[in-house]
Amino acid sequence: MLLYLQICQSCLPVKDKSLPDDTACMSLQTALQNAGFTARVVSAPCLGVCSAPTSITLQAEKCASYIFKNIDLKADQADIIATCRLYVNSKKGWIEDARECGRLRHLLHAKIPDI
């Protein structure tokens, strides 16, 4: 399954960005590949969660979509990988029990069923 993740940091003040957009995308993509996932990680222009940056999406074809807010791209990397593992192993990306997602389960902004 090809995973699509978008990272939105557009509302952070420049001084608060821990990583430039391209570096953040490459770092997360490398971590996901090292964990055995096929993933495409890109920078998003805006995810509409401006009051709670940094935000990421998790999507795959014919699967549910997720938006997480207030992500720390470095500190939450293991939880992002754990969430991707649950996502891939669930029916159509619908995660029923999010305890294994770690901190991300508390950062969920939107969960959108597949169509």
pLDDT tens-digit series, residues 18-75: 555 578 788 899 999 999 999 999 988 888 888 888 899 999 999 999 999 999 988 9
Q: Using DSSP bridges, classify how beta strands 65-68 and 108-112 pair: parallel, antiparallel or unpaired.
A: antiparallel
Query: What is the arithmetic mean of pLDDT over 87-111?
Result: 96
Fold of 2-112: Glutaredoxin (3.40.30)
Query: What is the arithmetic mean of pLDDT over 105-110?
Result: 96
> Can you give the residue ranges of every domain in the chain?
2-112
**Alpha-carbon distances, residue 41 vs 32, 74, 97, 115 (angstroms):** 9, 15, 25, 22
Highest-scoring range by mean pLDDT, 5-9, 11-15, 78-82: 78-82
Partner residues linked to 6 by β-bridges = 42, 57
Cα distance between residue 3 and residue 16, in whole Å: 28
